[in-house]
Structure 1
Amino acid sequence: MTGMVLGGRYRLEASLGSGGMAEVWRAVDERLGRKVAVKLLHPRALPPERERFLLEVRALSRLFHPGIVQVLDLGEVEGRPYFVMELVEGGTFDRLGPFEEGPEGERILEAAIQVMEALAHLHAQGILHRDLTPKNILLTKEGHPKVMDFGLAYLLQESRHLTRTGYTLGTPTYMAPEQAKGLPLTPRADLYSLGAVLYRTLTGKPPFEGENDQAILFQHVYEPPKPPQALNPTIPSGVAEAVLSLLAKHPEERPSHPSLFKSPLQEFQALRLATPRAGSSRSGHYPMAPDPRRLSLKGKVDLGGEAAWPGEMVYAHGRVYLGAGRGLVEVDLLSGTVRRENLPEEVTAPPVVRGGVYVAAWDGRVRRLKAQALEWSADTGAEITAAPLVLGERVFVASRDGSLYAFERDRLLYRFQAGGHLSASPTFHRGLLFLASEDGFLYALDPDTGALRYKVKTSPVHAPVAAYRGVLFIPTWEGEVYAFDPLSRETLWNTAVEGEIWGGLALDEERVYVAAWDGVLRALDQATGEEVWSLEVGKVTAGLSYAAGHVYVATEEGRFLAVDQRGQVVFEATGLGAVQVPPLPLAQEILVANLAGKLFRFGVG
């Protein structure tokens, strides 16, 4: 059928798939010159299938919402009805997962909000979807979800004669308990299915698995799902609670308000700011920032100690935390007051705020402070220069003796010995812990046991490994950046820059930003590693930060720059003194701490 023209305008180009009653084609609307999708009923379709096909058309044609695929035209060829709809080419919903603490996690929650809003519109029109699966929620190229495939849709007022038990219609993996039992359905059955889709997307696995459909349906009806954090410890508690509420066994217990995930999204954005490099994926991608064109210096704060590499600021509940000299500094941004928690040795690693404050020091201890008091400490016996990685109840600490220590509170779970010093924090991505060592190897570990899955040769690494959309971006001290696929274990590309790379990378949707000791900021294409643009900025030790369309860089010469995605400087401040820690973008201001221990607050208004 390739090349066939339907209705005098829709030329079929390639098959996109075929189901029990219809096939879907990518086509070109030759009248308007745009790509579309055509759903065409099979010639062997039985009368009930034909009726359900036409029911899908009627259901879709009355829906006008950005989160629902749009019907564009209807026709018939050789007695076979077809309808034309917008082409959605970004893949299935579960491709957004699994959940990560960088921008990927934020994208899943934003998409969940959009699907909840689309379902609210659907249900307001008196329509139940009845077969919500990852394959029936497609993504645009920009990552926006579109609910589609209404072949089993149930029009509450118009199709009562077509109702059949959910036991025979629907997808068992995502089916609500009442649908599995063949009971009458309400819109909350779709919400349960969405909960199952989100569970799969967040964790990589559906809530229930079994040898056959009967086993899966039994679990939907009678068994509680495992907590999502048991499969993916990066999932915040608020997100897990929202998903589990959708998976409640009784329909009346499932929340139906579209804003269900808005509060978890806000909590997650705050959580990202409380973790170095904006999350355990270490992407340098922060959730928000003011317009840098309107920035001006609003104040200075004396931190009372040196803020040196590889330190980093983190933010939680109106306060900024940073290691400065032999102390952990807490700055209240509202009042400007500074509080220091003095420690026996120099704080040589960025802190992490998760309920309490985790701070590691040169004496080899990682401490958890809560309410200005020591809650517990764990000893590695070796110097630490890397931020602890906190995943649920577990704390992973990379030390200068080449060991990764896994603690549960102060109890040592295991120790993995790499072949060289560990200067950079571990990166948790796609279910594995990645350690980049000064011996020039990248180690991939099982986070539960510390068992080595594999290792690959790189070159010595001092800065954190960034991760985004299933790819690791490895900055080496010798001045190379590697893009590495951790599943295929293949190097996708590597690009050399002049000078050592001391600070972490920053990533946006398409680019990798890197600055080295040669004084040049570079934007590299994520797919190819090719240089898109470069800019002379000065020698850089600090990591880069990205937020809201701009890269923030601070230099050893005391320059602080905001650079847009075209490589144009939109804001600059000079005379700050040497800076060795990354700028921290917040909603209303950007913070820069210099080596001498002065905190500069650049704000708007």
Structure 2
Amino acid sequence: MAPVVLAGRYRLEAPLGSGGMAEVWRAVDERLGRKVAVKLLHPRALPPERERFLLEVRALSRLFHPGIVQVLDLGEEEGRPFFVMELVEGGTFDRLGPFEEGPEGDAILRGAEEVMEALAHLHAQGILHRDLTPKNILLTREGHPKVMDFGLAYLLQESRHLTRTGYTLGTPTYMAPEQAKGLPLTPKADLYSFGAVLYRTLTGRPPFEGENDQAILFQHVYEEPKPPEALNPAVPRAVGEAVLALLAKHPEERPSHPGLFRGVLAGFQALRLATPRAGASRSGHYPFAPEPRRLALKGRVDLGGEAAWPGEMVYAGGRVFLGVGRSLVAVDLLTGEVARVALPDEVTAPPVVRKGGVYVGAWDGRVRRFRGQSLEWSAETGAEVTAACLVVGERVYVGSRDGTLYAYEKDRPLFRFRAGGHLSASPTFYRGMVFVGSEDGWLYALDPKDGGVRYKVRTGPVHAPVAGYKGVLYIPTWQGEVYAFDPLSRETLWSVALEGEIWGGLAVGEEHVYVAGWDGVLRALDRLTGEEVWSLEVGKTTAGLAYAQGHVYAATEEGRLLAVDRRGQVVFEASGLGPVQVPPLPLPEEVLVVSLSGRLYRFGVG
């Protein structure tokens, strides 16, 4: 069958979707040799549908904004009008979620800011969208959102009759209360719809669900949605509050300024300095680092004790926290002052900083939360605490040496889960589940509320934390295998068997998964396929890796600190540090590394 070519130029390749009014095709502009999208009116479309179709073209043609899909051409083929748009192939907006700590959470907030700016431009042109849904906000391959599908667009000065004859047009799941009631609409209706889209993106569920459209519309009009953090505890409260503000019942209460999420994002990125490895997704992906080629040793600090595996440094509020011997140590990076809190036994789990409190586990089987020098809370587990606890919202998850995961909520016991082997790796919160890697060779996916097992997957013994990034879990096993696993479809995407045990955490970058182990080799694996991109002899590695600004940082048992670029080229190296078992810590102005003997080295620029 000969391919369909519109206007002698646009060759239709494959259908992308179809509605009651029109169908959308992937096509090739044969004149320019580029891929495009073509929206073609159905041959039996009724006059009102034809009018709405042409209205969409008029609406789009007057909009020029990077957050709005662009019209490239308009034509007609055998009496059927069509228009040509840029092709957006990154999926729907809600594919960015659910919300996770790290770069993925940042991407949702940046996307929300860009959509808010696009809506401000849309409304400034006197246009209402009236049908914002996840499928009407598409993502470019780079992750930037573009608003599209203006089939129900309302031009304030040109189509008032459409609101009188079709006020229920739209999608009930995302419809503003005033739209559900058939009242006159303002730009605030689009803001409500986008709030509902964001709610679904953050939590994985829309704000209201029901057996039919009327049940959903009733809730939009009369009921309040649950806070997003009640469905997904990883959602920061400030983010949830911003979304609930958009979902206000009364239009005048909804904030319309494009920068609504800008301040939230800035504050969240500041928090993220402390959490890329000690955070919920444990990706080892840090947001900032200085140019490594300009690094030089700027100072040393004696911490007064041994800093051993599985210790980690955590930054918050200008200070770095680390377990050293029987003490929780805090180093003020401005003054160099070292403060310590004495514990009755060895610190055996990396600290976690949340809301001004520092959680730390010890060999005596207790996890404690300190604020400054003061003990705020402690909990007894059944055995030694050998992994960093997981703090998600008000919940604290603690793994112990006897294979039990303890969960607390606001300092009260929530549940206990018993795995089949020791828990040496810190739990990971991802895609709404708590993942626990055990030395019995299983990865358990738990319900975060009650500890029920959603499923379990055979992996092999796990000593290092599982990393989550871009919807995939990257699982390192002690025996040297690395798995890429989709936690929702439960499919193994790829697996690689490496030489030597893996003790420290992976680092995940935009393109590569970085792994180093006891065989002395640092490897970059293609994040999508698992194929080895490059390898580099660095020395035996116990410490986890860190990734920031296009470079992976590794520290070895031979006392080397290296910064390696995406191509596998060493761009910075320091040696003679003594054995290192704690992951390097990239910060905006410096990179920190601490030796097994407890000496903190500060490498800065200048």
> Could you state the TM-score of these two structures normalised by the residue count of structure 1?
0.97
Aligned to 2:366: 365
- Given the alignment of the two structures, is residue 450 of structure 1 paired with residue 451 of structure 2, yes or no? yes
| Range with greater deviation from structure 2 (271-280 or 152-161) | 271-280
Aligned to 1:215: 215
Q: CA deviation at 1:397?
A: 0.4
Structure 2 counterpart SS, 1:268: helix
The answer on whether the counterparts of 1:101 and 1:281 sit within 8 Å (CA) in structure 2 is: yes
Residues of 1 paired with 2:550 and 2:525: CA distance? 15
Q: CA deviation at 1:282?
A: 1.2
Structure 1: 5+ residue stretches without partners: none
The answer on whether the counterparts of 2:278 and 2:352 sit within 8 Å (CA) in structure 1 is: no
Residues of 2 paired with 1:412 and 1:392: CA distance? 15
Residues of 2 paired with 1:515 and 1:58: CA distance? 56
The answer on whether the counterparts of 1:298 and 1:602 sit within 8 Å (CA) in structure 2 is: yes
Structure 1 counterpart SS, 2:214: helix
Residues of 2 paired with 1:441 and 1:138: CA distance? 37
1:159-558 counterparts in 2 under 5 A? 159-164=159-164, 167-275=167-275, 277=277, 279-355=279-355, 356-558=357-559
Structure 1, residues 332-375: CA drift from partner, whole Å, max 9, x if none? 22222211111111111111111211111111111111242111
| Range with greater deviation from structure 2 (92-101 or 468-477) | 468-477
| Range with greater deviation from structure 2 (225-234 or 286-295) | 286-295
The answer on whether the counterparts of 2:424 and 2:463 sit within 8 Å (CA) in structure 1 is: yes
Residues of 2 paired with 1:25 and 1:475: CA distance? 42
The answer on whether the counterparts of 2:100 and 2:281 sit within 8 Å (CA) in structure 1 is: yes
- Given the alignment of the two structures, is residue 560 of structure 1 paired with residue 561 of structure 2, yes or no? yes
The answer on whether the counterparts of 2:279 and 2:390 sit within 8 Å (CA) in structure 1 is: no
Structure 1, residues 68-120: CA drift from partner, whole Å, max 9, x if none? 10110111111111110000011111111111113211111111111111111
The answer on whether the counterparts of 1:166 and 1:183 sit within 8 Å (CA) in structure 2 is: no
Number of residues of Structure 1 aligned to a counterpart in Structure 2: 605
Q: CA deviation at 1:560?
A: 1.0
Structure 1, residues 207-236: CA drift from partner, whole Å, max 9, x if none? 001111111111111111001111100011
- Backbone CA RMSD of aligned residues: 1.5
Amino acid at match of 2:73: D
Structure 2 counterpart SS, 1:108: helix
Q: CA deviation at 1:285?
A: 0.9
Structure 2 counterpart SS, 1:189: helix
Residues of 1 paired with 2:8 and 2:384: CA distance? 74
Residues of 1 paired with 2:423 and 2:388: CA distance? 11
The answer on whether the counterparts of 1:378 and 1:409 sit within 8 Å (CA) in structure 2 is: no
Aligned to 1:68: 68
Residues of 1 paired with 2:146 and 2:495: CA distance? 36
Residues of 2 paired with 1:360 and 1:175: CA distance? 47
Structure 1, residues 443-485: CA drift from partner, whole Å, max 9, x if none? 2222211122222222111100112233221111111111223
Residues of 2 paired with 1:301 and 1:322: CA distance? 13
Aligned to 1:85: 85
Aligned to 1:115: 115
The answer on whether the counterparts of 2:286 and 2:546 sit within 8 Å (CA) in structure 1 is: yes
Residues of 2 paired with 1:70 and 1:427: CA distance? 40
Residue identity over aligned pairs, in percent, reads 82
Residues of 2 paired with 1:540 and 1:180: CA distance? 60
Structure 2 counterpart SS, 1:118: helix
Amino acid at match of 1:554: A
| Range with greater deviation from structure 2 (487-496 or 462-471) | 487-496
Q: CA deviation at 1:14?
A: 0.8
The answer on whether the counterparts of 1:584 and 1:591 sit within 8 Å (CA) in structure 2 is: yes
The answer on whether the counterparts of 1:416 and 1:450 sit within 8 Å (CA) in structure 2 is: yes
Amino acid at match of 2:503: W
Q: CA deviation at 1:297?
A: 1.8
Amino acid at match of 1:215: A
Q: CA deviation at 1:152?
A: 0.9
- Given the alignment of the two structures, is residue 29 of structure 1 paired with residue 29 of structure 2, yes or no? yes
Structure 1, residues 515-570: CA drift from partner, whole Å, max 9, x if none? 01111110112222111111111111110111111111111111111111111111
1:43-54 counterparts in 2 under 5 A? 43-54=43-54
Structure 2 counterpart SS, 1:32: coil
Amino acid at match of 2:432: G
The answer on whether the counterparts of 1:122 and 1:128 sit within 8 Å (CA) in structure 2 is: yes
**Residues 2 and 20 from structure 1, CA distance in 2 versus in 1: closer, same or farther, beyond 3 angstroms?**
farther
Q: CA deviation at 1:276?
A: 5.8
Residues of 2 paired with 1:417 and 1:410: CA distance? 20
**Residues 576 and 189 from structure 1, CA distance in 2 versus in 1: closer, same or farther, beyond 3 angstroms?**
same
Residues of 1 paired with 2:31 and 2:435: CA distance? 52
The answer on whether the counterparts of 1:376 and 1:409 sit within 8 Å (CA) in structure 2 is: no
Q: CA deviation at 1:10?
A: 0.6
Q: CA deviation at 1:412?
A: 2.4
Structure 2 counterpart SS, 1:277: coil
Residues of 2 paired with 1:291 and 1:121: CA distance? 37
Amino acid at match of 1:140: T
**Residues 166 and 114 from structure 1, CA distance in 2 versus in 1: closer, same or farther, beyond 3 angstroms?**
farther
Q: CA deviation at 1:410?
A: 4.2
| Range with greater deviation from structure 2 (207-216 or 261-270) | 261-270
Q: CA deviation at 1:167?
A: 4.2
| Range with greater deviation from structure 2 (32-41 or 552-561) | 552-561
The answer on whether the counterparts of 2:106 and 2:265 sit within 8 Å (CA) in structure 1 is: yes
Residues of 2 paired with 1:164 and 1:510: CA distance? 51
Q: CA deviation at 1:178?
A: 1.1
Structure 1 counterpart SS, 2:164: coil
Residues of 2 paired with 1:181 and 1:2: CA distance? 49
Q: CA deviation at 1:166?
A: 6.8
Structure 2 counterpart SS, 1:55: helix
Aligned to 1:571: 572
The answer on whether the counterparts of 2:278 and 2:388 sit within 8 Å (CA) in structure 1 is: no
Structure 2 counterpart SS, 1:259: helix
> Could you state the TM-score of these two structures normalised by the residue count of structure 2?
0.97
